[in-house]
Structure 1
Amino acid sequence: MKLYNYELSGNCYKVRLLSSFLALDVETRQINFYPGREHKAAWFTETVNPLGQLPVIDDDGYVLRDAQAILVYLASRYDTQRSWYPDDPQVRGQIAAWLATADEITRTASAARLHDAMAYPFDIEDCRAGAHRVFGFVDDYLADAEIEGREWLCGSAPTIADIACFPYVALAHEGGISLDSYPALRRWIDRIRHLPRFIGMPGIFSPSL
């Protein structure tokens, strides 16, 4: 399997992280997202992803774009235990809702990070305010879940919902967004970092480092 990858992208990291949890052999094709903007180059938009976005996978000729879609595909095809994307229709409905939440986290917290790190022309105060709104929602949900004995977004075990939401929450500080007011969110981040086969990325370190 080939992954068109940018090491600093939280969305690409989601794919690398699930691939590690599933012990998949993935070849990464590094794309110069910044400053080269290679994802917007003609060869990329004409042969890989017309939308000019990362990540994209090529699994023996099956090409798929969008981080959340890739998570669903990888878990559906390669997780023999059906733990990361359980068959239960209600759990899958919950996961779908959290994948939408992950998109909202990308729209706000990730945008703030792009503004600060790469000078993207976003309204930074709007991005940060939006991130705080969604972080407050997730923190409240996790706090209530902990009272009920649950530690994850969907049920009693981690799923692709946790992977989808994790990176841009853990990287929020790079967009000037503090997690000090979200203790349940910080505990959840720590739980993910201590899962077996966890791998980090720049800005998100493994517990052993």
Structure 2
Amino acid sequence: MKLYDLDASGNCYKVRLLASLANIKLELVPVDFLNGAHKKSPLVDLNPLGQVPILEDGSQVLRDSQAILVYLAGVYGGLAWWPAHAQGQAEIMQWLSFAANEIDHSLCAARLVQKFGAELDHSAALEKSCVTLSLLDKHLQHSEWLAIGRPSIAECAVYPYVALGPEGDVDLAPYRHVARWMKQVEALPGYLAKP
């Protein structure tokens, strides 16, 4: 099973993190992002959006880190990471959507500006980051984990760009419940350090 990967990508890190935590073997295929390999064949044939990560498992090809997390957990991770019941799956999906929307447009965007020179509004991203982190902190004030009362792929989806937030000049210090949760994630057996 191959993961077309970019080490600095938070979205690729999501997949590598789950694989490490769940002991799922992946062959990492580094993508020459700076030379646009993700926009050329054969990668653009696997993902017409020209993005990474891309997972290739036999004839199954998946793009989008959230979709890949669901697939890996469902096929290889067992019920530990993706429960069989609809209520638990829905709880987790709320956080996958939160990662793809609120976090992507705040902490991730701030990091893209500071680390990679993306032409985005850094001030707006920082303002959105405060709102996003406040929501996350409020949830974690009453919950040990994001969903289902234990670690799940919700952690793998949300943790990376929160942990990488300081690379976008996002101050995590005011969010003590987020800090506690991050330490719990980092203490899990098989935790993979952030890039």
Q: What's the TM-score bracket when you normalise by the shorter of the two chains?
A: over 0.9
C-alpha separation in 1, matches of 2:36 and 2:159:
25
The corresponding residue for 1:4 is: 4
Identity of aligned residues (%): 39
Aligned structure 1 segments of 4 or more residues deviating by more than 3 angstroms: none
The corresponding residue for 1:207 is: none
The corresponding residue for 1:21 is: 21
Alignment of 1:106-125 (within 5 A): 106-125=104-123
Alignment coverage as a number of residue pairs: 194
The corresponding residue for 2:93 is: 96
Q: Which runs of 5+ in 1 are unaligned?
A: 146-150, 203-209
**Does the residue aligned with 2:189 lie in a helix, a strand or coil?**
coil
Q: CA deviation at 1:106?
A: 1.7
Q: Deviations over 1:30-76 (max 9, x none)?
A: 0122x32321234421x221001110100012100000000000010
User: Is structure 2 residue 169 aligned with structure 1 residue 176?
Assistant: yes
C-alpha separation in 2, matches of 1:120 and 1:38:
19
Give the structure-2-normalised TM-score. 0.96
Q: Superposition RMSD on alpha carbons, in Å?
A: 1.1
The corresponding residue for 1:205 is: none
Give the partner amino acid of 2:145. W
C-alpha separation in 1, matches of 2:53 and 2:77:
20
Report if aligned partners of 1:2, 1:59 keep a CA contact under 8 Å in 2: yes
| Residues 119-128 or 36-45, more deviating | 36-45
**Does the residue aligned with 2:170 lie in a helix, a strand or coil?**
coil
Residue 136 of structure 1, aligned match among 134, 137, 143: 134
Report if aligned partners of 2:140, 2:177 keep a CA contact under 8 Å in 1: yes
User: Is structure 2 residue 172 aligned with structure 1 residue 194?
Assistant: no
The corresponding residue for 2:124 is: 126
